Amino acid sequence: MTPLARSRLRSTVIHMVLFIVLGFWMIPQVYMLSIGLRTPAQAFDAALFTWPVTFDNFVTVIRDNPLGGIFLNSLIVTVATVAIVVAVSSLFAFACAILRLKGSLFLYTTLLTTLMVPLASMVLPLAILLKNFGWVNTYIGLILPYAALGVPFAMVILKSFLEDAPRELFEAARVDGCNAWQTYWHVALPLVRPALVFVTIWQFIVTWNEFFLALIVLTKAEMKTLTIVPMQYSGLYMANPGALFAVLTLIALPLILLYVLVQRAFVRGLLAGAVKG
């Protein structure tokens, strides 16, 4: 066999194996969709695929449930959290990496410890704090704790990017008479764009899917976010798996679609060095 033929064969085999592994990997998602597309008669069949398929379940669950409102709750909490995290962490990273404020390194190190704090140990004190603030069942009651937990990670990445940026640019901005705020806005932020994109997407995913704190803070039906409603539906549609899995598919879909749309920018940010220490 010529080397070229051999490398082509190897590539074909590797692709085939990857496709087979992926096929197995996708079983839970395929299964979810498949049950959602079943008639009541087939719903309890122990098979990955059944035929024929029907969209009745999707029609039923969209008609019967306020999914739009729940989606909007998730969107409000997530977008606000992401905006706060990006703004606050980039300001802080700028203070550490470019302004080199006295004491900022100490603050940076202190904030870093947040990354080692498991949310499980914060849920009880945060629940009490939010109760004292009267913030149970409010958007702000989730947004600010999420932001506080998200800032340290974003700050590490943005600081590392800023430190790698050419220092002459900041010097030039100063010579041209930019004050610190102008330098931040016109020089620093555009320089770290891939990192900002990466941080935005990651924070979006994490916030959208956060479960523990949302479960504690949001008890009123009209405030609930998408991640905490599936439990209710599993009770509601206990005898009707078709409808349950249709609603689960609809709940999972927005973030999956969003990720597929932005994955290129996300991975680019990761490869560009969002991964540095």
Partner 1 sequence: MRAEAVRAGPAAAIERRPASRTSTLYLFAVPATLLFVVFIAYPILWVAGQSLYVRSGSGASSFAGFANYVTVLGDPTFWIVVRNMLLWGVITIPVQMLIGGVLAYFIERHTHALRGFFRTMFFLPVVTSVSVISLVWVQIYAPYYGIAQEYLKHVGFVMMTSPIGDPKMAIYALIIVNIWQWTGFSMLMYIAGIANLPSEVLDAARVDGARGWRLAVHVIVPMLAPATKSLLLLGVIGTLQTFPIVHLMTGGGPNRASEVFGTFIFKQSFVLGDTGSGAALSVIVLVVALALSLLQIVTLGARLTPAGKERP
Task: Please state the closest distance from residue 192 (CB atom) to partner 1, in A.
Answer: 15
Which is nearest to 236 in space by CA: 71, 55, 40, 61? Answer: 61
Q: Check binding of 11 to partner 1 (CB under 8 A).
A: yes
Output 60 or 111, the one with its CB closest to partner 1.
111
How remote is the C-alpha of 167 from its chain's centroid?
32
Q: Which of 28, 68, 134, 177 binds partner 1 (CB under 8 A)?
A: 28
SS3 193: helix
Taking the alpha carbons at both ends of the chain, their separation in whole angstroms is 46
Q: Check binding of 86 to partner 1 (CB under 8 A).
A: no
Candidates 52-60, 63-71, 75-83, 245-253: pick the segment binding partner 1 (CB under 8 A): 245-253
**Total residue length of the chain:** 277
**Cis amide prior to 52 (ω within 30 degrees):** yes
Torsion from C-alpha of 42, 45, 49, 50, nearest 10 degrees: -30
Cβ atoms within 10 Å, residue 201: 20
**Site residues (CB under 8 A) for partner 1, limited to 202-231:** 205, 208-209, 211-212, 215-216, 226-231
Output 73 or 89, the one with its CB closest to partner 1.
89
Which is nearest to 226 in space by CA: 251, 202, 204? Answer: 251
Q: Check binding of 167 to partner 1 (CB under 8 A).
A: yes
Q: Check binding of 62 to partner 1 (CB under 8 A).
A: no
d(CA 64, CA 76): 23
Q: Check binding of 183 to partner 1 (CB under 8 A).
A: yes
Q: Which of 2, 3, 41, 168 binds partner 1 (CB under 8 A)?
A: 168
Candidates 58-66, 75-83, 155-163, 189-197: pick the segment binding partner 1 (CB under 8 A): 155-163
Q: Check binding of 95 to partner 1 (CB under 8 A).
A: yes
Q: Which of 50, 58, 240, 273 binds partner 1 (CB under 8 A)?
A: 273
Half-sphere exposure of 200 (CA within 13 A, CB side): 16
Task: Please state the closest distance from residue 270 (CB atom) to partner 1, in A.
Answer: 5
Q: Which of 109, 134, 177, 220 binds partner 1 (CB under 8 A)?
A: 109
Q: With contacts defined by CB under 8 A, how many residues of the chain interact with partner 1? A: 115
Torsion from C-alpha of 99, 103, 108, 109, nearest 10 degrees: 150
